[in-house]
């Protein structure tokens, strides 16, 4: 075969082109790797900064937390207070994280029961409830009506002196009066706070906690309630509802029927906030209370009140 000089030159050109193509390919691959690394680093920095801000900054005082389940909530650590402090006229303290901690109760796996009583104090039912709680050594929270406090200041003082948490349920419990506007909601709250202070002879007492009559949302007054939550939040006032009830305000007048309602509504929950009432027409609430406490103990529950947060 004859030697072809042109063919040799062509082969050299092809080799050179192949080398350049290979180098370009390597450069592109290296560039893509570097770009990916830069993107990953940037994303990591952004996430770290956001997480740091979330952990370092406290939420706005009394901020409202949406009623949606948090993505990652397991066991909630709730602040502890010494019961001797509570029994020796312990005054609730402002907690800038209170609304978040209250919301977290609903999603905690911890078996804790917050027994709450609305619409009192009343002369015939509240003493019976207090006697049972004292006998069973169970702390509770009383969401009191200002109008009832004015009539029964001695009972409010007994609730407080025996270590129970005093919270605010408005003054009148008259929906059309309370929910005229967000301002009337705040006025009812403020009027009840003053009634509590007078009864306790403590001008600096602050409950820090409100329960909307009928719940904090829904119904014909839903819009006003939403506006009122914003106003209360501006003043550092927190609110809570319930995730369990005995049905004593829904026609459950026997112990068996109340226990049935309790068991149904607490199903699947860890921590529970139990709604009950100590108004003057709720004698069956007091009758069912020992069974409620006994059942919850059998299920492994311990009892707390909102001194755990404030």
**Which one is catalytic: 164, 173, 208, 277?**
277
**Which one is catalytic: 118, 119, 248, 278?**
118
Residue 11 lies in a domain: no
Q: Would residue 75 show up in a list of annotated catalytic residues for this protein? A: no
The whole-number pLDDT of residue 57 equals 38
**In the 8-state DSSP scheme, what is residue 247?**
-
Residue 147 lies in a domain: yes
Query: What CA–CA distance (Å, rounded) separates 43 from 49?
Result: 10
CATH number where 176 lies:
3.20.20.370
10-residue stretch averages of pLDDT, the chain, 310 residues long: 44 55 69 70 60 41 36 38 50 91 96 98 98 98 98 98 97 96 98 97 94 95 97 96 97 97 95 98 98 98 96
- Core vs surface per residue 140-150: b (16+ CB within 10 A) or e: bbbbbbbbbbb
Q: How many domains does the chain have?
A: 1
Using DSSP's 3-state secondary structure scheme, residue 102 falls into helix
Residue 2 lies in a domain: no
- Alpha-helical segments (H) within 57-152: 83-87, 98-105, 126-136, 146-151
Using DSSP's 3-state secondary structure scheme, residue 210 falls into strand
Residue 17 lies in a domain: no
Residue 46 lies in a domain: no
**What angle (nearest 5°) sits at the alpha carbon of residue 186, between those of residues 183 and 191?**
125
Structural domain range at position 240 = 83-308
Closest to 285 (Cα-Cα) out of 244, 266, 257, 243: 257
- 3-state helix vs strand vs coil in the chain, percent to 5: 50, 10, 40
Residue 190 lies in a domain: yes
Residue 13 lies in a domain: no
The whole-number pLDDT of residue 74 equals 36
Q: Would residue 256 show up in a list of annotated catalytic residues for this protein? A: no
């Amino acid at each position: 075969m004859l030697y072809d000089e042109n063919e040799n030159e062509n082969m050299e050109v092809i080799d050179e082109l192949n080398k350049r193509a290979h180098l370009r390919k390597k450069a592109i691959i290296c560039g893509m790797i570097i770009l990916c690394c830069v993107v990953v680093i940037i994303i990591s920095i952004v996430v770290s900064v956001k997480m740091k801000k979330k952990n370092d900054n406290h939420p706005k005082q009394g901020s409202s937390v949406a009623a949606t389940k948090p993505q990652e909530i397991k066991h909630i650590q709730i602040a502890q207070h010494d019961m001797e402090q509570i029994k020796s006229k312990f005054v609730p303290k402002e907690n800038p994280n209170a609304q978040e901690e209250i919301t977290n109760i609903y999603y905690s796996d911890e078996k804790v029961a917050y027994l709450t009583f609305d619409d009192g104090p009343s002369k015939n039912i509240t003493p019976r409830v207090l006697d049972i709680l004292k006998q069973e050594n169970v702390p509770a929270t009383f969401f009191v009506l200002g109008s009832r406090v004015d009539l029964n200041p001695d009972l409010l003082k007994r609730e407080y002196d025996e270590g129970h948490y005093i919270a605010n349920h408005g003054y009148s419990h008259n929906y059309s009066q309370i929910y005229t506007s967000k301002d009337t909601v705040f006025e009812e709250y403020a009027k009840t706070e003053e009634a509590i202070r007078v009864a306790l002879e403590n001008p600096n007492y602050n409950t820090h906690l409100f329960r909307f009559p009928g719940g904090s949302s829904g119904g014909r007054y839903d819009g006003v309630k939403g506006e009122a939550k914003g106003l209360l939040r501006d003043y550092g006032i927190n609110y809570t509802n319930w995730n369990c009830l005995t049905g004593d305000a829904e026609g459950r007048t026997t112990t068996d029927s109340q226990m049935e309602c309790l068991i149904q509504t607490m199903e699947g929950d860890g921590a529970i906030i139990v709604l009950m009432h100590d108004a003057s027409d709720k004698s069956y609430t007091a009758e069912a209370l020992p069974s409620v406490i006994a059942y919850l103990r059998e299920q492994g529950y311990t009892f707390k009140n909102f001194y755990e947060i404030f």
